[in-house]
Structure 1
Amino acid sequence: MINLEISPKLATLVDQARQAALAFLRPNSRKYDQAEHTYPTELDTLASLLDGLSASGGGAGAAGVRKAKKTSKGVVNGANMSLAVGTMEMCWGDAGLLLAMPRQGLGNAAIASVGNDDQVARYKGKWAAMAITEPDTGSDSGAIRTTAVRDGDDYVLNGEKIFVTSGERADCVVVWATLDRTKGKAAIKSFVVDRDTPGFELVRLEHKLGIRASDTAHFRLTNARVPARNLLGTPDILPDQGFAGVMQTFDNTRPLVAAMAVGITRAALEKTRELLTEAGITIDYDRPPHTQPAAAAAFLTMEADYESAYLLTLQAAWMADNGKPNSLQASYAKAKAGRSATDITLRCVELCGTVGYNEQSLLEKWSRDAKIMDIFEGTQQIQQLIIARRLLGKTSAELK
Structure 2
Amino acid sequence: MTINLELPEKLTTRGEALHAFAENAFRPISRKYDRQEHDKPVELDQFAELVAANRNSASGEKSDKPKKDGTVNGANMVGVLTAIEMAWGDVGLMLALPGRGLGNAAIDAVANEEQLKEYGSVYAAMAITEPGFGSDSAAVSTTATKDGDDYIINGEKIFVTDGSRCSHIVVWATLDKSQGRAAIKSFVVPRDAEGVTVVRLEHKLGIKASDTAAIRFEDVRVPATALLGSPEIDTKKSFSGVMQTFDNTRPAVAGMAVGVARAALEELRKALEEAGVEIDYDTPINNQTGAAAEFLRLEADYEASYLLALRAAWMADNKQPNSTEASMSKAKAGRTVTDVTTRAVELLGSLGYSEDLLVEKWARDSKILDIFEGTQQIQNLIIARRILGKPSSELK
Structure 1 residues 339 and 66, CA, compared in 2 at 3 Å: closer, same or farther?
farther
- Secondary structure of residue in 2 paired with 1:133: coil
Instruction: Tell me what 2:25 maps to.
Output: 24
Contact in 2 for aligned 1:67/1:113 (Cα 8 Å):
no
Distance 1:154 1:312 in 2: 42
Counterpart mapping for 1:293-332 below 5 A: 293-332=289-328
C-alpha displacement of 1:123: 2.0
Instruction: Tell me what 2:363 maps to.
Output: 367
Instruction: Tell me what 1:199 maps to.
Output: 195
Distance 1:372 1:84 in 2: 17
- Secondary structure of residue in 1 paired with 2:386: helix
Instruction: Tell me what 1:62 maps to.
Output: none
Code of the residue aligned with 1:74 in structure 2: it is G
C-alpha displacement of 1:291: 1.1
Contact in 1 for aligned 2:107/2:120 (Cα 8 Å):
no
- Secondary structure of residue in 1 paired with 2:236: helix
- Count of aligned pairs between the two proteins: 394
Distance 2:154 2:4 in 1: 47
Among candidates 240, 262, 267, match of residue 244 of structure 1: 240
- Residue 177 (1) aligns with residue 173 (2): yes
Contact in 2 for aligned 1:157/1:225 (Cα 8 Å):
yes
- Secondary structure of residue in 2 paired with 1:348: helix
C-alpha displacement of 1:128: 0.4
TM-score (norm. length: structure 1):
0.96
Contact in 2 for aligned 1:71/1:322 (Cα 8 Å):
no
Instruction: Tell me what 2:52 maps to.
Output: 51
- Secondary structure of residue in 2 paired with 1:56: helix
Distance 1:283 1:2 in 2: 27
Question: What is the RMSD of the two structures over their aligned residues, measured on CA atoms?
Answer: 1.8
Distance 2:361 2:328 in 1: 26
Contact in 1 for aligned 2:63/2:73 (Cα 8 Å):
no
- Residue 80 (1) aligns with residue 42 (2): no
Distance 2:357 2:380 in 1: 33
Instruction: Tell me what 1:214 maps to.
Output: 210
Contact in 2 for aligned 1:146/1:158 (Cα 8 Å):
yes
Q: Which digits, 9 at most, give the CA deviation of each residue in 1:315-354, with x for residues without a partner?
A: 0001011111100000000000001001110000000001
Distance 1:387 1:66 in 2: 29
- Secondary structure of residue in 1 paired with 2:198: strand
Contact in 2 for aligned 1:145/1:181 (Cα 8 Å):
yes
Distance 1:204 1:108 in 2: 23
Identity %: 60
Among candidates 249, 260, 275, match of residue 279 of structure 1: 275
Q: Which runs of 5+ in 2 are unaligned?
A: none
Distance 1:73 1:307 in 2: 26
Q: Which runs of 5+ in 1 are unaligned?
A: 60-64
Among candidates 329, 333, 336, match of residue 333 of structure 1: 329
Q: Which digits, 9 at most, give the CA deviation of each residue in 1:123-151, with x for residues without a partner?
A: 23321000000000211110110000000
Structure 1 residues 8 and 369, CA, compared in 2 at 3 Å: closer, same or farther?
same
Contact in 2 for aligned 1:66/1:113 (Cα 8 Å):
no
TM-score (norm. length: structure 2):
0.97
Distance 2:350 2:298 in 1: 20
- Secondary structure of residue in 2 paired with 1:193: strand
Distance 1:71 1:166 in 2: 38
- Residue 120 (1) aligns with residue 116 (2): yes
